[in-house]
Amino acid sequence: MSEMDFETQMRSIAQRINYPHTPDIAGRVMSRLRRFPSPTGRGVRGEGRSRFISKGWAWSLTLIVVLLFSLMLIPPVRAAVLEFIQIGIVRIFPRPTDTPPLETPRTATPQSFAPVTATPYLESSTLLVDLSRLAGEKTLPQAQSLVSSYYPILLPTYPRDVGEPDRVFVQDADGAMTILVWFDPNDPEKVMLSLHIIPEGSWAIRKSEPVTIEETLVNGQRAVWAVGPYPLRYSNGDIDFTRLIDGHVLIWTDGNVTYRLESNLSMEEAIKVAESLQSLP
Amino acid sequence: MLAHQQAVFRFAYLLLGDADDAEDIAQETFLRAWNHLRRFDETRSLRPWLLSIASNLSSNRRRSAGRYLAALTRAFREQPKDRLIEETHSQSAEADQLWKAVQRLALPDQQVIYLRYFLDLPVAETAETLQIAEGTVKSRLNRALEKLRKIIDRDFPVFADRREGREA
């Protein structure tokens, strides 16, 4: 085997190593920064504090926290620090402790606000129940007519044969939220893609500690890629409901509109879909 | 932070071989980076700087646990070869074997292999992380690969045969 072959093989094999799941480092670091450490600096394992933190380091941390809090009083700085967990109306909350993610959906779902998800790992029967309970189904022209004063309904042109959505819903979430659903052509009982178009002022959508959160770009604008499972919570202060999302979600904004694309696609493919959105002819 | 936490965690995991230690190191890395943010040159890439901090912290951790690790390593080497290599067609198992072989190398050789092959960093970022010249990265990598090949041939014969067999 030549040196080049050996190097190529080593590189190829090395890429296949199974790493442990990356914990929520960012969330735990932020949590540590928000809290004053104890004077001894001895951390408690599992609460986001180090096992081997030194006394000197504890005092350094204290100074950092004081500095952070001081900076957080300045609105632009506060916005910059928090920016990475907020996109459009979607807020991503890191898990504050080692609480395991939800294993079953918790539903306090009002009939008229049942969410649509294109969760690839959900059983189709579950999904169809959700769709059948979903209020506000419209035809595409009806939906366009309803929301046209707020935003245009954009449809993907990638993949080329994606076509028009199979189901269209417009729901009042303190703003006319449009949900477009495409079924898998090979298995019409499964959802292939869903696109939420959410205007400013709608209910806040919150997700807590997805397995993966990654910043990326859609049309050169900041976007967030999140991989489940994670609880997704819709709320407007009076009513809220939570359910478990197990799919991959790309979130981005365009002006005052937030887009949320849920699919079982890779991030790269999801970005292609997002960047292919065009107005209805 | 989100963009780099995986790379930092994985690098620490490769260096330390323990997920809990790697998490601690990753947290300390970001805290230290935050503390020294004013020293960071914003025209440069953030990732090598973070990985460099993680590398230093991991080295300290290895030293503090050096005796324990040395005992483990001895125990590992004293096992019969047929227990070292488990016949499996799992691709991840093959990667684990490679990782075990890399762990036999000196730390600077491990670092360069982890960064270039396991984390797939470009030469320039690898050089920046290790704070050496790009030419040094290449020469160190070549030497590390030579040593790795000998280790695999000597101590991981099944793995070596399989690699040769696949090529044939």
Task: Give the pLDDT mean for A81-110.
Answer: 46
pLDDT, residue A33, reads 76
DSSP per residue, chain A? --HHHHHHHHHHHHTT--PPPPP-HHHHHHHHHHSPPPTT----TTTT--SS--HHHHHHHHHHHHHHHHHHTSHHHHHHHHGGGEETTEEEEPPSS-PPPPSS------GGGPPP---TTS-HHHHHHHHHH---EE-HHHHHHHHTTT-PPEE---STT--S-SEEEEEESSSEEEEEEEEETTEEEEEEEEEEEE-TTS-EEEEE--SEEEEEEETTEEEEEEES-EEEEEE-SS-EEEEEE-SEEEEEEETTEEEEEEESS-HHHHHHHHHT-EE--
In a domain, A91, yes or no: no
Instruction: Say what the pLDDT of residue B122 is.
Output: 93
Q: Which of A3, A23, A213 sits opposite B2 (nearest CB)?
A: A213
B160 pLDDT above the threshold of 60: yes
Q: Is the pLDDT of residue B151 over 70?
A: yes
Q: What is the mean pLDDT of residues A135-156?
A: 87
* Single residue among A73, A102, A131 that ends a domain in this structure: A73
Cβ separation B99–A214 shorter than 8 A: no
Q: Do B92 and A16 touch (CB under 8 A)?
A: yes
pLDDT 10s digits, A54-72:
555 565 656 655 555 555 5
Which residue of chain B comes nearest to A85, CA vs CA? B2
Q: Does B96 touch chain A (CB under 8 A)?
A: yes
Nearest Cα residue in chain B from A12: B117
As a whole number of angstroms, the distance between CA A31 and CA B153 comes to 47
Any idea which of A143-152, A246-255, B56-65 has the lowest mean pLDDT? B56-65
- The predicted pLDDT at position A256 comes to 81
Averaged pLDDT score across all residues of chain B: 79
Least confident of A134-138, B23-27, B44-48, B161-165: B161-165
Per-residue model confidence (pLDDT) at position B129? 93
> Which pLDDT score is estimated for B92?
66
Do both A67 and A119 map to the same domain? no
Q: ipTM for the complex?
A: 0.77
State which CATH number among 2.30.30.760, 1.10.10.10, 3.40.50.300, 3.30.70.260 fits the domain covering B89-168.
Answer: 1.10.10.10
Nearest-CA distance from A10 to chain B in Å? 7
Residues A143 and A275 in one domain: yes
Are A132 and A271 members of one domain? yes
DSSP for A153-179 reads PEE---STT--S-SEEEEEESSSEEEE
Do A134 and A257 lie in one domain? The reply is yes
Query: Please, where in chain B does CATH 1.10.1740.10 lie?
Result: 1-78
User: Using CB atoms, which residue from A1, A13, A51 is nearest to B24?
Assistant: A51
Both A29 and A119 in a single domain? no
Share of chain A above pLDDT 90, in %: 10
Of B2, B3, B34, the CB nearest to A33: B34
Give me the CATH topology for the region B1-78: Rna Polymerase Sigma Factor; Chain: A (1.10.1740)
Q: Are residues A138 and A275 in the same domain?
A: yes
Same domain, A69 and A117: no
- pLDDT at B44 (0 to 100): 79
> Which residues form the domain of A243?
111-279
Residues A146 and A247 in one domain: yes
Query: Closest residue of B to A44, CA-based?
Result: B24
Q: Contacts from A182-185 at CB under 8 Å and sequence distance 24+?
A: A182/A118
Q: Which residue does chain A place closest to B18, by CA atoms?
A: A20
In chain B, list all ranges with CATH 1.10.10.10: 89-168
Compare CB distances from A60 to B35, B96, B120 and report the shortest one's residue.
Answer: B35
Calculate what percentage of chain B has a pLDDT beyond 90. 40
Last residue of a domain, one of A73, A94, A126: A73
Lowest mean pLDDT among A26-35, A113-122, A267-276: A113-122
Chain A residues closer than 8 Å to B8 by CB: 25
Are residue A27 and residue A166 in the same domain, yes or no? Answer: no
Same domain, A133 and A54: no
- The predicted model gives A102-116 an average pLDDT of 34
- Model confidence, pTM: 0.43
Same domain, A57 and A136: no
Total number of domains constituting chain A: 2
Answer yes or no: do A138 and A249 share one domain. yes
Chain A within 8 Å of B63 (Cβ-Cβ)? no
